[in-house]
Amino acid sequence: MSNTTKQAPPFNACRRCGTCCRKGGPALHLEDQELVESGQIPLQHLLTIRQGEPAYDNVTATIAPAVTDIIIINSRPENAPHCVFFNPDQKSCRIYDARPSECEALKCWDTGDIESLYNCRRLTRRHLLSRIEGLWELVEDHQARCNYGHIADLAARIRQQRQAEAAGQELLGLIRYDRHLRQIALERTQWKSEMLLFLFGRPLSFTIDLFQLKTTRRDGCEIIVSTAAKGEQVCYRRKGLPS
């Protein structure tokens, strides 16, 4: 009797299993700009990973600062990371006829097309907002003030106890500015809160966790503390990390 394990036959077509959609929404490219501008993909369903923000690269399996904006279709609900347009009951896409280029390119049996597209021709906030006077300047100012390169430097000083108090106060100031801007934007517009994730990315109070920091309160005051183990080095070019 043979002990050979029977292998599943190879396949070269989508089996509609929904696995790719359950792993989150795709990133958008210039080819997808019309889908957004026409409203087929509403802005409220988008999330911006801002330039410089540590991000997971699915192709290289590393975490590294984003070279440019990465605009992705968000997930919903938060405790289920599937793409917001995925219908889990029917294992189908709600916008299949207007699906983004990454979705068209993705073939789980042959990843060549998606790998060649993945880091090319990223759609950015500038492409979508630069002609909207006032709004684009606001987004640019936020990006400049909350620059992730500077935040990484402040975070390193806090973790390494190099002028940590001054660095902590400066970073707290940026977190408060980011928090206040979002609050004011909602109060003065008719935007849904989800729009802020596209315009300004994720709140700094959340993303400082990527630098192994957190905010807490001590003696009635908000402070920033390191969550890294003593002597631990923070490196974003680590292989094999989960997305």
How does pLDDT run across 141-192, given as a tens digit for each residue? 999 999 999 999 999 999 988 999 999 999 999 999 999 999 999 999 989 8
Q: Are residues 117 and 145 in the same domain?
A: no
Average pLDDT rounded to a whole number, residues 109-132: 91
Please check whether residue 93 lies inside any domain of the structure.
yes
Please check whether residue 1 lies inside any domain of the structure.
no
CB atoms within 10 A of CB 84: 21
| CA-closest candidate to residue 102, choices 178, 174, 24 | 24
CB atoms within 10 A of CB 23: 15
| CA-closest candidate to residue 70, choices 185, 181, 198 | 198
Give the model's pLDDT for residue 235. 54
Q: What dihedral angle (degrees, nearest 10) is formed by the CA atoms of 198, 200, 203, 208?
A: 110
Domain count, the chain: 2
89-125 exposure pattern, b = at least 16 Cβ within 10 A, e = fewer: eeeebebeeebbbbbebbeeeeeeebeebbeeebbbb
pTM of the predicted structure, to 2 decimals: 0.86
Give the model's pLDDT for residue 237. 45
Q: Is the pLDDT of residue 78 over 80?
A: no
Q: Are residues 53 and 144 in the same domain?
A: no
Last residue of a domain, one of 110, 126, 142: 126
Q: Are residues 169 and 150 in the same domain?
A: yes
Tell me what percent of the residues of the chain surpass a pLDDT of 90.
64
Average pLDDT rounded to a whole number, residues 24-34: 95
Q: Are residues 67 and 38 in the same domain?
A: yes
List all residues 6 or more positions away from 20 whose beta carbon is below 8 Å from its beta carbon: 103, 106, 108
Domain extent at residue 145: 132-226
Please check whether residue 12 lies inside any domain of the structure.
no
Last residue of a domain, one of 105, 126, 147: 126
Please check whether residue 239 lies inside any domain of the structure.
no
